[in-house]
Amino acid sequence: MQIVVFYVAGALAIGSAIAVVVQRNPFLAALSLILHLASLAALYLVLQGDFVAVAQLLVYAGAVMVMFLFVIAYLGDRADLDLRRGGVGAGAAVVTGLAIFIETIVAVSDSKDLLGSPASVADSFGSPQTIGKLFLTDHLLAFEAISLILLVGAIAGVVLGAGDLLPKAGPDGEPGEREARSERYDLRRELRRREDEQEHGSEVGA
Amino acid sequence: MTPGIGSWITLSSALFCIGLAGVMLRRNPLVILLSLEIMLNAGNLLLVAGSRYVGGNDGHVLALTVMAVAAAEVVVGLGLIVALARRGSALDVDELRSLHG
């Protein structure tokens, strides 16, 4: 049963990964990646990594991919560029990929008897309790580092996404974008005031 | 019956190579980010498989760490892409060569 799931989900993972790489439309590529992540979650279940499988579906297929689809939808047809390298670049990409893959196959076939069957583990293997305990004891530093990385990532997202909404000073006392904009705004307001005055004046005149 | 760890290593290596070829092949930064995700997930698969065959949950902890780092990386990458699009530059990594020596 497990070996059937391994082959089906493995073939699905490879197929959808190839679809991501060769797909012309980035939206369809992102949808293929969701299928890829879901089949990987199935493989994690074969490996009794229950918590990792659920986290994969929630964090990756849920949150990260929604963000991807959102940005692709925001960019609209500007994201829709079918750009790939031709000739030398494509050849280098395929050769590099194949070389690493063949090297791995050679290394694996040389050590066939190594770890042929899974270790015998307790029922609590891969459960949230076990992983949570490990995170808060042996891997506390990694846990704290993750919280810092996520904080910095959130700040970076705000700074990069806000763009010119944040105050910006130009070089060497030159008025920056924001000042220039407020000057234009003042000018527009002044013009509107004069127009109003004129209208008012003509009304009075009539 | 489960396959030996060799099968998992082969599968994970195949996925990694597909992602690598995608990063090298495509010029659209969005698709490059998607291919990067494939590579990170290939590494994750190997971590979880190793955890199962050796026994012990450390691989799972590391896989979850990789997931968090990947999420942060996607935020920064997508933020850069949106900033690029706002600036009006083409979404083509070969066009962005002002740091080119």
- Which chain A residue shows the shortest CA-CA distance from B11? A10
With CB atoms and an 8 Å threshold, state whether B11 touches A14.
yes
At A177-206, the pLDDT tens digits run 555 666 666 777 777 788 777 777 655 554
Interface check A178 vs B, CB under 8 A: no
With CB atoms and an 8 Å threshold, state whether B80 touches A108.
no
Q: How far is A22 from chain B (nearest CA, A)?
A: 8
Chain A, window 145-174: residues with a beta carbon less than 8 angstroms from a chain B beta carbon: 146, 149-150, 152-154, 156-157, 159-161, 163
Q: Which amino acid is at B32?
A: I
**Does residue A34 contact residue A72 with C-beta atoms inside 8 Å?**
no
Measured between beta carbons, the chain B residues lying within 8 angstroms of A125 are 52, 55, 57
User: pLDDT confidence of B64, banded at 50, 70, 90?
Assistant: very high
User: pLDDT confidence of A30, banded at 50, 70, 90?
Assistant: very high
Residue in the structure block whose two tokens are 């740091």: B99
User: pLDDT confidence of A176, banded at 50, 70, 90?
Assistant: low
Which class for A167: exposed (0-12), middle (13-18), buried (19 or more C-beta within 10 A)? exposed
Quote the pLDDT of residue A92: 87
At A84 the three-state DSSP class reads strand
**Does residue A74 contact residue B82 with C-beta atoms inside 8 Å?**
yes
Interface check A69 vs B, CB under 8 A: no
With CB atoms and an 8 Å threshold, state whether A72 touches B30.
yes
* Residue among A64, A79, A142 minimizing CB distance to B61: A142
Structure-block tokens of residue A105: 């196959």
User: pLDDT confidence of B89, banded at 50, 70, 90?
Assistant: confident
* Eight-state DSSP code of residue A119: P
- pLDDT at residue A171 is higher than 70: no
Between vectors from CA A180 to CA A174 and to CA A183, what angle results, nearest 5°?
A: 125
Q: Give the other-Cβ count within 10 Å of B23's Cβ.
A: 20
Strand partners, B26: A84
Structure-block tokens of residue A180: 């220039």
Measured between beta carbons, the chain B residues lying within 8 angstroms of A49 are 48, 51-52, 60, 63
CA–CA gap between residue A192 and residue A201 (Å, rounded):
14
Q: Give the other-Cβ count within 10 Å of B6's Cβ.
A: 20
**Does residue A117 contact residue B4 with C-beta atoms inside 8 Å?**
yes
Please report the ipTM that was assigned to this predicted complex: 0.92
With CB atoms and an 8 Å threshold, state whether A43 touches B55.
no
Quote the pLDDT of residue A182: 63
Higher per-residue confidence, A79 vs A88: A88
With CB atoms and an 8 Å threshold, state whether B55 touches A119.
yes
pLDDT (average), residues A102-131: 82
Measured between beta carbons, the chain B residues lying within 8 angstroms of A151 are none
Residue in the structure block whose two tokens are 């597909």: B18
* Range list of H helices, chain A: 2-22, 26-46, 50-55, 65-75, 88-110, 128-136, 140-162, 177-205
- Name, of A121-125, A136-140, A182-186, the range with top average pLDDT: A136-140
Quote the pLDDT of residue A149: 94
At A31-60, the pLDDT tens digits run 999 999 999 999 999 998 899 999 999 988
Structure-block tokens of residue A160: 């990069």
